[in-house]
Structure 1
Amino acid sequence: MMDAAVRTFGRLGYQAASMDEIAELAGVSKPLVYLYLHSKEDLFTSCIRREARALLAVVAAAVEGEGAAEERLSAGLLAFFTYTAEHPDAWAVLSRQARAQGEPFATEAERMRDEIAGYVGELIGVAAQGPCDAEGLAQALVGAAEAMANWANGPGGTAPRQAAATLMRLVWTGLGTLTAPGGDLSKRPAAP
Structure 2
Amino acid sequence: MPRRIREQQMLDAAVVTFARRGYRAASMDEIAELAGVSKPLVYLYLESKEALFSACIRREATALGEAVRAAVDPAAAPDRQLWCGLRAFFTHVAEHPDGWVVLHEQARAQGEPFAAEWSALRDGITEFVTAAIAAAAREAGCGPELAGDEVAGVAHALVGAAESLAGWAGSRPGQTGRETAATLMDFAWSGLDNLMRGRRWQPPPNP
Bucket of the pairwise TM-score, normalised by the shorter protein: over 0.9
Indicate the residue corresponding to 2:151 in structure 1. 134
Following TM superposition, by how much is the alpha carbon of 1:144 offset from its aligned partner in structure 2, in angstroms? Answer: 0.5
Structure 1 unaligned runs (5+)?
Answer: none
Instruction: Give the TM-score normalised by structure 1.
Output: 0.92
Following TM superposition, by how much is the alpha carbon of 1:156 offset from its aligned partner in structure 2, in angstroms? Answer: 5.9
Indicate the residue corresponding to 2:47 in structure 1. 38
Spell out, residue by residue over 1:74-124, the C-alpha distance to the aligned partner (whole angstroms, 9 max, x if none).
011110000000000000001111111111111110110010011110000
Q: Which amino acid aligns with 1:173?
A: S
Q: Report the 3-state secondary structure (helix = DSSP H, G, I; strand = E; otherwise coil) of the residue aligned with 1:15.
A: coil
Instruction: Report which of the two structures shows the higher radius of gyration computed on alpha carbons.
Output: 2
RMSD: 1.8
Which residue of 130, 155, 176 corresponds with 2:193? 176
Q: Does 1:18 align with 2:35?
A: no
CA gap of 1:123–1:103, structure 2 versus 1, over 3 A, is same
- Equivalent-residue separation in structure 1 for 2:70 and 2:76 (angstroms): 13
- Equivalent-residue separation in structure 1 for 2:189 and 2:164 (angstroms): 18
Spell out, residue by residue over 1:6-26, the C-alpha distance to the aligned partner (whole angstroms, 9 max, x if none).
111111110111000101111
Q: Which amino acid aligns with 1:84?
A: V
Q: Does 1:123 align with 2:132?
A: yes
Indicate the residue corresponding to 1:164 in structure 2. 181
Instruction: Give the TM-score normalised by structure 2.
Output: 0.86
- Quick check: 26-35 or 125-134, which moved more? 125-134
Spell out, residue by residue over 1:111-168, the C-alpha distance to the aligned partner (whole angstroms, 9 max, x if none).
1001001111000001122323221111111110011001101146732111100101
Indicate the residue corresponding to 2:163 in structure 1. 146
Q: How many residues were matched structurally?
A: 189
Q: Report the 3-state secondary structure (helix = DSSP H, G, I; strand = E; otherwise coil) of the residue aligned with 2:37.
A: coil
- Equivalent-residue separation in structure 2 for 1:112 and 1:44 (angstroms): 16
- Equivalent-residue separation in structure 2 for 1:107 and 1:64 (angstroms): 28
- Equivalent-residue separation in structure 1 for 2:167 and 2:20 (angstroms): 14
Structure 2 unaligned runs (5+)?
Answer: 1-9
Indicate the residue corresponding to 2:7 in structure 1. none
Which residue of 56, 59, 64 corresponds with 1:50? 59
Identity %: 57
Are the aligned partners of 1:63 and 1:119 in contact in 2 as well (CA < 8 Å)?
no
Are the aligned partners of 1:73 and 1:120 in contact in 2 as well (CA < 8 Å)?
yes
